[in-house]
Structure 1
Amino acid sequence: MVGRIVLVMLLCSISNVLWAEGLYLQTLNNTQLTEEQRQKSLKQVTEHKQIVLRGELEVPPFHKRGKEDASLGNSFCTTCHLSPPHTKSIRSRTFMNMHTQYIACETCHFRPENVQLSYQWQDTRDASIVTPKPKLFRQAVEAENKDTSLPEKKVITKDTYVINSFYKITPFYQQQAIGLRNDNAFAEETRKLWQQEGSALELKAERRALIHAPLTEKGPKCEACHNEKNPLLDLAELGATRYQLQKIQNNIVTQFFSRYKDEEQRIRIMSLLK
């Protein structure tokens, strides 16, 4: 009996060491759930229905749903969340899902108080750091070729506009990435818990509440990044050119959202040009 207790304690210690990676897991391990959090999570787990995506769903000649973003597969978030993940707001979900091509989930949804985070480009395939450069941004080459100092007949090839969606702006704390990868020990155990037949709903609800406790359901408003004064991300440090900074900080779509906040509000096309 004593030997069994020692073995359990040893396994728990090993698990704690394996899980103590990054600020997110540190925060998670120190979280004390409230009864309200447990009950809310239990309700959501109990009422959850599996979503089955219909293949080849399209309305010719447009509105064809693209394939899942493979770059999100390395994130623990997509163990449960769809790819792409934003589905609730019909008006803004396309714009929000576009951001998942180059911004990690935790950049928007992990916002701890009184903690100074830094942000770097990271290759989500092997967690390596990517050197900041203008071409990591969507408008990079287009912007550079508008420079009057460049030859007028500069040729723009197809490859010029390719974006590597595996490169994402990721939050770091003390030089360590915050994001939880899909192959992490905690992620593996969570997956097994969910797949195991007969697992009590209370256990799943507890784990779900624990995972989401350090996170915010809604990310920052568009203006947090798309503004010229105190933006959330230092885009210049991330490699953006002056032209890119101007275009991102004065994005017309975010300006539209700031003017028309009601989901049911109807607008005229001409209003978008104001």
Structure 2
Amino acid sequence: MTWWTVLIERLRRRRPPLLHIATDEGTGPVVILVHGIASSSVTFREVVPLLVPGHRVIAVDILGFGESPAPEGCEYRLEDHVDSLDATIRSLKLREPIILVGHSLGSLIVARFASLPRTWMSRRNEVSRVVLVGPPVYLSPSDIGDRWVRARVSAYLRAYDFLRLNKDFTISNAAIISRLLPKGIFEISERNWTPFVKSLEHCIESQTVVSDIASLTVPVDVVYGTLDAFIALGSMTVIERMRHVTMHRVDANDHLIRPRLARALVGVIDAHTTAETSASTAAVPAGEASGEQAVDR
């Protein structure tokens, strides 16, 4: 084997695997949907039909979940998820800016993706807006001053640690929950156990979402349900105060994207898409649009 063959083989092995594209429908501004941990693109089943009439909607399965590959030896770090998302988007050869929508773990993935520098060499697509749905924002307890918020976040992290360390308990209880939901919404099984525990440990328990959001130069919308059990009360205060972030609270909705939250999410996307495409005037500065809005649709 020549040195050239060896080099090509190494480059091939290092190439991030492409994600499964479950949906690519419609025409118009491009919206890319990225689901969360232990789920699949089915997460957005209520969203896609509402977006398709005015957008090109692309929904993917993240690395290790749904019908996407689960590479042997993958550590499922945030970088691994982002690299595969990046490779998949580049493979589509999109020419226009994209709106990135992430749910749960998908929020962390798209926030990191959007924070990466866009250079001629990287050939990354321009991101016009980031929408985070039910983002699990957990600062390190040592960085939280409020003792009540610190206690809540610590409890969440202990619970995640317990799930990772008790495989049989986690899988058996996940099976009970999954039977109550549409197929593909929630699954923790032998098949995706490794992607689940490693993504949980390396992306959610050890996360950089706050700094990633802070570094963004595009508008960020956060949409979440008031009954979302995966959001620790007070944990999102730090991002609520960022000038380029707008919060959208949806009453009577939990962590799943149910019809009420789907309508609110599409309303947020449509409102900004219309504003950006209907006029050539400058957009309203992000700081003027910051704050929290209650959404009841």
| TM-score, normalization by structure 1 | 0.26
Structure having the higher strand fraction is 2
**RCO greater where, 1 or 2, for CA within 8 Å and sep 6 or more?**
1
| TM-score, normalization by structure 2 | 0.25
